[in-house]
Structure 1
């Protein structure tokens, strides 16, 4: 009797372990950038519905995503700041882009509607340097004739965590503003001259939403979801453009992603009459020796490349061009993970 009970217990335990093992095998674990989280979440929901395979993605910021894949604690990391080829070699990583989007400055000024406020790169630079401190500053007014702006102190909101969104934003500021380049520079984390910090795109969006007369920067999907007031920005061609699908697409069209360089490329301050100047790709990082998990991850993104374009467009992300998708598939094949 005891023997039968023992066998029964071990049978149940064995079956439980088998079920847990299958569940683990059917989950892809990723972590990193908050910038693409809305589209990854939407892709993941549809992918699970079609395949039964779950994507568990932690939206912790690009810095955290890079650290986790370097430490091999996830199947893939995600970063809006492309990792340099020499650093990929050092940490034995692969890299490819997944989708393209835009970082947008957002404001909370009573009476100002989305797309009404116009700024250029130098003026925005001086706001984030703390040199322009009031919405009634002459330099802002000169860019916005006829727009009623209050004599109120500007509150700058920026990221407090390591952030690829910050890397894109500060890379743009460094390209258009020599003082920013010399004093602050570009990166996932910088020594901010002024402002209050929010964690993730969500944190910055929440601060701007609550804090009157504030300005911050978020990925466009977060601006739309939180009904934030985005600005028009003067681009490299000298035109004031709104952030939208077509202006992100115009910036993306300028990009020449090279698989020999692991697709390392910035899209900030891109040429083109309609190009949004703070655009960027977001990237996936894989550990080169994790072949089994890499194959699972690649299957997910290959599915997204074939089936996820309309989902991305609805969230105002720009799907990769078909020619670039084929380059990425060739990159996967070359490494035996496709």
Structure 2
């Protein structure tokens, strides 16, 4: 049975990535695409790399008939998403790629995003979309909130270690490098080629990055006490990819063994042999996450490194993985594309 899909916000990077993935999906058909500022245009004119696909033209959201839509992906900006989802049919399954429903506490949302949440009742029903750890809840959900790409990367490497109690909780340092597509497609001066190329910079330094709200929420729930990690993101002159390096206290071999055990049966998480570390080149364009562990020269400390594609496993691929569960389809359907190398 074919599932009819709508993508709201299809003119952005994550919307285009969803189309690329769903194009190979055996059980999904794209029936509607929205793009408020580009309504009336074809997808071929907005994203020429998709011109080989037979796709509906972009329309405004209020022009979409949701009667026959089984699931909608909301690839809309933060704050806009909650306003739109409030007015969608209550029986429609939704995967939201924005930050609007990731945090369970409305006060935490207001703290990290600077405005009160306008859909608190819907916020309470949302399931956090880190598939490998919320699989059962996602399968029965109406609304799934996709994680932040940085937050997903950090959690894949650290969640199992916090749960197993094999690392210290008070000295976790996470240093993360993120490609420019993580900032979206809107024009920004600091993302111009002349401003970005041939350099890199730290941003949101000192604990101001919004994904810290997700780390606080998830890690504290796992530990049963407050966990506050030190997190510094860096913008790198690349189109895709996240490389996160975690510095933790604990036995490196035990840490590696814990990750191997956790992800032994996961199709998209690959733990490398002990001592090897991953590269963003080896996950580019795929739904895979590679994790490596090595010992530090300082006794009792270890280094954990994770790499994923921010647009795929960090966003649209994860969203499709969740949608498969929500529609009772094979979880890996449409997602086994090999990474693009070099």
TM-score (norm 1): 0.27
The structure carrying a bigger helix percent of its residues is: 1
CA radius of gyration, larger in: 1
TM-score (norm 2): 0.27
Higher relative contact order (CA 8 A, sep 6+): 1
